[in-house]
Copies of this chain bind each other. A is one copy, B any other.
């Protein structure tokens, strides 16, 4: 990832936070970040792809900070969970994640939509896992219900608490209040035995053991199909891309050295998609000795 590209992402994010996504034109971004239109479309294939890059970098940072709070602490301590949520929600607010999500979710871009969907599933699974750390084992069948409803009441409580007490009000009491409600609710659910959604289905929504794998494979496919469009008459180029996709998606033990070689021979393409593909592979594909 280029430093300059990172700078553009940062500046564009600032503009989106201030003015919203739709109302910020690409020209605004060019002026504010001091690059030309050509460079912009050399970095990002579209405004939506830029937004996805913003989401990616922001999420990565939030996730690291949030998990850092748990480091060395007791996972069963509800206070840690509350602090983690507070951090997550504060960061979401600062980065206007929710408004940007909603502004763009129904705009027709399938890739963006799926990206957001996966992000929300990850939050849900994290809620579910952490609630499992805190509660008794008898609550297990109701953890997903609890996560879903925690998500719901958190969003609404924060929204209206802010409406009542101003934007600057601390989130801590709201998060504690919401978590307390859900913990009580989980106890009650364990007693009454009422279940709405079975937790197993989460594996279907976002496969547990192979989560990163699946998530990553989806991205591989989308990146490669985008790359194909860049030079769709060059059969040699297309063959190489097909080989990479095939090797990664079909094989249980993809030969990374082969893929790296092919990627190297593609270096002449010199597009940001190649960087993206390389980064994806490096992050997710381990060298098999």
Mark A residues whose CB is within 8 Å of B: 19-23, 99-100, 102-103, 105-108, 124, 145, 148-149, 151-157, 160-161, 163-164, 173-174, 177, 180-181, 184-185, 188, 194, 196-198, 201, 205
Cα distance A19–B102 in the bound complex, in angstroms: 16
User: Which residues in B have their C-beta under 8 angstroms from that of A164?
Assistant: 197-198, 201
- Report yes or no: A160 in contact with B197, Cβ–Cβ below 8 A: yes
- Report yes or no: A152 in contact with B156, Cβ–Cβ below 8 A: yes
Cα distance A99–B163 in the bound complex, in angstroms: 22
Cα distance A201–B153 in the bound complex, in angstroms: 19
- Report yes or no: B152 in contact with A22, Cβ–Cβ below 8 A: no
User: Which residues in B have their C-beta under 8 angstroms from that of A106?
Assistant: 20-22, 99-100, 102-103
Beta-carbon nearest neighbor of A20 in chain B: B106
- Report yes or no: B184 in contact with A196, Cβ–Cβ below 8 A: no
- Report yes or no: B153 in contact with A107, Cβ–Cβ below 8 A: no
- Report yes or no: B161 in contact with A205, Cβ–Cβ below 8 A: no
Tell which of B105, B177, B188, B194 touches A177, judged by Cβ atoms closer than 8 Å.
B194
